[in-house]
């Protein structure tokens, strides 16, 4: 017997609710325990998801009996809407190093959008066709094919879920097909109101969780979001409320300029030679340093040389990508301060230009290192050479240093090794076996050989007698964690914990345990050169820190800025107030790519704050070294303390940005020293 109109609405809504709910439940399967609060959170998110799903399912039901021209018109509208929504998402997904400078990138982007529009239209017609079917055998075939489609969508979500919102758009068609399958099964069933009752009960639990704090899964939203399958619906359905955030924090005074530092921290006389050599490597995880693979050391040279210098045990990157991470190391500023700077910030190169005879950079011969942003910002006015391989980079830097020796010239040199960056390729000299992870280890071992060759030259030619040599990795690398490979996106230890080592003949080898940030590199270099430290940064010279001091936190950030938007971020000579506010909003609200995050690391604990969702993950290194989101620490006091400290740091960061904006308005822009 056909259902009454009101009954039909209830049945349709219950199917639209239970579809996303079941998809979310699939994401909870890997969790060891499922709390009542977590279930309440799921019920609430499913209720939010049921709104667009109900509307789409109702529209398809109405069109199931409409004439073909009407169906075709609405299908075309949906395809165009899909392409409009997908324009920026496709731009983000094609923003990696393999595509950012590709000559056919625009063509591929358009072709991908056309394919998305075609798939959207075809899926819509498929949905309408399914609702029209009344015969059980055909319904069974339609449902079986839908299960295959949902499984494929789920597989894509699982494989690429680190791209958060871009891939999370696939949750909607998966949830809609799931709801449609349920609707076909129950719409004419005499037991259809069992589903209505179940959906209503879950919805009430979800609504109740909004008012009863005991039912809210505090801090567990990311537990769902990090899980597999339809868990990304948590990201898709979370409301994104835009607020016009004020830059102005309070009436606190801006920092006063720091006095000039005339004395080197390691006893070099004012007229003594002071060289600085910066050695950076791309995407080297800290936990790979010292690793052995089938009895072979992966980083034999780095491990040996680390024992001869100051090797920081608790160093973190400021950002999981090169431009902002190295930018922080060269300026002492946080990534947000770089992104929101009213003008190009001063770097260690521009600040030291009058104090060294030559400035040298040897960079990878890859597309993004040749973009103008590198020459305009990271290596402004520096003699730059490009190397095709890490071996070529070592040769090029040694040749430059030999020439400087012959000319009796002091130098500030920077070499960036690139081998550990994806794509990973195994080297015959370092056969670690098949697979992407082993190929990564082979790349690391190849880089390690070149680092050893460079350090041996520096020692043999006595560069360490009058040079500060600093080595660090710009960020870590995901090797399958959260089903993700590469960098960007995450702020877990495998992404932000990095090796940091300093060498000079005056150093006594040690392993300082105090927290250190890559942002501390800039004031350390300036301190060594006897130059004034920037007053508008929270970074500290590593020479001024007590080696084993506990309680010094370090901070990291990640926000949805990638591709051309990232590479163009420093190009404007001056940013107006509207642009600053738009950028401020972009580091707080999820957009295109992924959820903006902030993290604090302190004495083995780490708290990651998802800024748009407003929730946190807390990891205890001793109890949860792998930072499994399903194993949340039961130390609420430590969690709250880290949350307060992170909030305080972000507040101070906004204040420094405000002061920098005020300063740029009060003075005319002066050219950089050449």
Q: What is the pLDDT of residues 248-286, one digit of tens each?
A: 455 556 766 665 555 666 656 555 678 999 999 999 999
Looking at the 3D structure of the chain, how many domains does it have? 2
**Domain finish residue from 497, 532, 547:** 547
44 and 139 belong to one structural domain: yes
Residues 204 and 287 in one domain: no
- Read off the pLDDT band of 488 (50, 70, 90): confident
CB 49 within 8 A of CB 236: yes
* 223 and 281 in a common domain: no
pLDDT digits (tens, 9 = 90+) for 138-172: 989 999 999 999 888 877 776 665 455 556 677 78
Residues 387 and 310 both lie in one domain: yes
Percent of the chain clearing pLDDT 90 (strictly above): 40
Parallel, antiparallel or unpaired: strands 358-364 and 411-417:
parallel
Domain end call among 547, 562, 594: 547
State pLDDT tens for residues 609-642: 888 767 788 898 888 888 877 676 778 899 999 9
**pLDDT 10s digits, 65-107:** 889 999 999 999 999 998 988 887 787 677 655 665 678 888 9
Does 184 share its domain with 301? no
Q: Is the pLDDT of residue 321 over 50?
A: yes
**Are residues 214 and 313 both part of a single domain?**
no
Domain membership flag for residue 481: yes
Domain span at residue 184 reads 5-237
Q: Cα(340)–Cα(342) distance, rounded to whole angstroms? A: 6
The residue with greater pLDDT, 254 or 473, is 473
Domain membership of residue 394 (yes or no) is yes
pLDDT at 240 over 50: no
Over range 415-434, report the average pLDDT.
92
Question: Is 475 part of a structural domain of the chain?
Answer: yes
pLDDT value, residue 11: 86
Judge if 12 and 80 occupy the same domain: yes
Predicted confidence at residue 174, as pLDDT, reads: 85
pLDDT level of residue 231 (50, 70, 90 thresholds) = very low
**Residues 313, 158: Cα–Cα separation, whole Å:** 33
How many Å apart are CA 171 and CA 151, to the nearest integer? Answer: 11
Helix 68-93 and helix 36-63, axial crossing angle in degrees, nearest 10? 140
Backbone angles phi, psi at 310, to 5 degrees: -95, 105
Q: Give the whole-angstrom CA distance, residue 382 versus residue 400.
A: 13
Kindly report the backbone phi and psi dihedral angles of residue 31, in degrees, each rounded to the nearest multiple of 5, phi listed first.
-75, 140
Same domain, 495 and 398: yes
Indicate the pTM of the whole model.
0.74
Contact 532, 322 (CB under 8 A): no
Look at residue 673 and tell me if it is in a domain. no
Q: How much is the pLDDT for 247?
A: 46
Domain identity same for 392 and 524: yes
Q: Is 38 contained in some domain?
A: yes
Do 357 and 452 reside in the same domain of the chain?
A: yes
Determine which helix (DSSP H) or strand (DSSP E) holds 318, and give its type and residue range.
Answer: none
Q: Does one domain contain both 453 and 347?
A: yes
Which pLDDT value is given to residue 347?
92
pLDDT band with cut points at 50, 70 and 90 for residue 235: very low
> Of 523, 547, 571, which residue constitutes the final position of a domain?
547
85's tokens: 């929504």
Query: Residue 652 falls within a domain, yes or no?
Result: no
- Domain-located, residue 573: no
pLDDT of 666 higher than 70: no
Max Cα separation, the chain?
98
Q: Looking at the structure, tell me whether residues 333 and 283 fall in a common domain.
A: yes
Q: How much is the pLDDT for 206?
A: 82
Strand-pair partners of 598? 557, 609
Distance CA 441, CA 299 (A): 9
The reply to whether 132 falls in a domain is yes
So what's the pLDDT on residue 368?
80
CATH number of the CATH domain containing 502: 3.40.720.10
């Amino acid at each position: 017997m056909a259902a009454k109109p009101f009954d039909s609405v209830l049945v349709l809504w219950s199917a639209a609710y239970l579809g996303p709910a079941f998809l979310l439940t699939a994401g909870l399967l890997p969790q060891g325990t499922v709390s009542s609060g977590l279930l309440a959170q799921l019920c609430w998110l499913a209720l939010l998801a049921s709104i667009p799903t109900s509307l789409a399912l109702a529209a398809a039901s109405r069109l199931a009996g409409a004439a073909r021209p009407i169906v075709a018109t609405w299908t075309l509208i949906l395809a165009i809407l899909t392409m409009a929504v997908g324009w920026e998402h496709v731009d983000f997904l094609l923003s990696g190093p393999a595509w950012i400078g590709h000559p056919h990138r625009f063509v591929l982007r358009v072709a991908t959008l056309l394919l998305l529009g075609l798939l959207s239209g075809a899926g819509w017609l498929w949905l309408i066709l399914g609702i029209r079917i009344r015969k059980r055998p055909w319904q069974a075939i339609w449902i079986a094919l839908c299960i295959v489609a949902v499984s494929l969508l789920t597989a894509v979500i699982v494989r690429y879920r680190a791209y958060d919102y871009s891939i999370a758009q696939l949750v909607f068609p998966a949830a809609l097909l799931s709801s449609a399958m349920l609707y076909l099964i129950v719409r004419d069933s005499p037991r259809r109101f069992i589903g209505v009752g179940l959906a209503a009960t879950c919805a009430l639990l979800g609504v109740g969780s909004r008012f009863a704090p005991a039912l809210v899964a505090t801090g567990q939203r990311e537990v769902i979001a990090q899980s597999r399958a339809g868990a990304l619906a948590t990201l898709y359905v979370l409301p994104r409320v835009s607020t016009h955030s004020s830059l102005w924090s309070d009436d606190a005074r801006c920092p006063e300029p720091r006095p000039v530092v005339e004395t080197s921290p390691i006893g070099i006389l004012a007229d003594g030679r002071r060289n600085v050599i910066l050695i950076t490597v791309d995407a080297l995880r800290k936990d790979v340093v010292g690793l052995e693979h089938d009895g072979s050391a992966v980083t034999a040279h780095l491990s040996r040389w680390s024992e001869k210098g100051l090797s920081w045990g608790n160093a973190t990157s400021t950002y999981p990508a090169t431009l902002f991470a190295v930018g922080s190391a060269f300026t002492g500023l946080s990534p947000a301060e770089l992104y929101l700077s009213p003008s190009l910030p001063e770097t260690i190169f521009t600040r030291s230009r009058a104090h060294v005879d030559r400035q040298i950079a040897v960079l990878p011969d890859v597309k993004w290192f040749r973009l103008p942003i590198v020459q305009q910002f990271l290596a402004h006015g520096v003699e730059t050479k490009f190397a095709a391989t890490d071996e070529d980079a070592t040769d090029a830097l040694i040749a430059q240093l030999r020439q400087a020796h012959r000319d009796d010239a002091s130098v500030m040199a920077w070499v960036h090794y690139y081998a550990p960056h994806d794509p990973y390729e195994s080297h015959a000299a370092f056969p670690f076996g098949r697979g992407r992870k082993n190929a990564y280890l082979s790349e690391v071992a190849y880089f390690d050989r070149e680092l050893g060759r460079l350090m041996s030259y520096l020692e043999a030619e006595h560069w360490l007698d009058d040079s500060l040599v600093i080595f660090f990795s710009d960020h870590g690398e995901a090797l399958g964690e959260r089903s993700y490979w590469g960098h960007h996106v995450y702020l877990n230890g495998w992404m932000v914990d990095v090796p940091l080592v300093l060498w000079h003949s005056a150093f006594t080898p040690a392993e300082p345990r105090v927290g250190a940030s890559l942002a501390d590199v800039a004031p350390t270099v300036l301190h060594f050169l006897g130059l004034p430290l920037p007053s508008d940064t929270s970074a500290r010279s590593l020479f001024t820190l007590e080696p084993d001091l506990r309680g010094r936190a370090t901070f990291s950030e990640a926000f949805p800025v990638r591709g051309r938007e990232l590479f163009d971020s420093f190009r404007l000579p001056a940013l107006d107030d509207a642009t600053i506010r738009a950028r401020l909003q972009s580091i707080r609200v999820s957009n295109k790519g992924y959820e903006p995050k902030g993290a604090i690391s302190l004495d083995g604990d780490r708290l990651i704050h998802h800024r748009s969702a407003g929730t946190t993950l807390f990891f205890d290194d001793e109890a949860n070294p792998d930072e499994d989101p399903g194993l949340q620490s039961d130390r609420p006091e430590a969690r709250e303390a880290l949350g307060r400290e992170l909030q305080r740091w972000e507040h101070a960061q906004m204040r420094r940005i405000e002061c920098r904006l005020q300063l740029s308005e009060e003075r005319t822009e002066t050219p950089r020293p050449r």
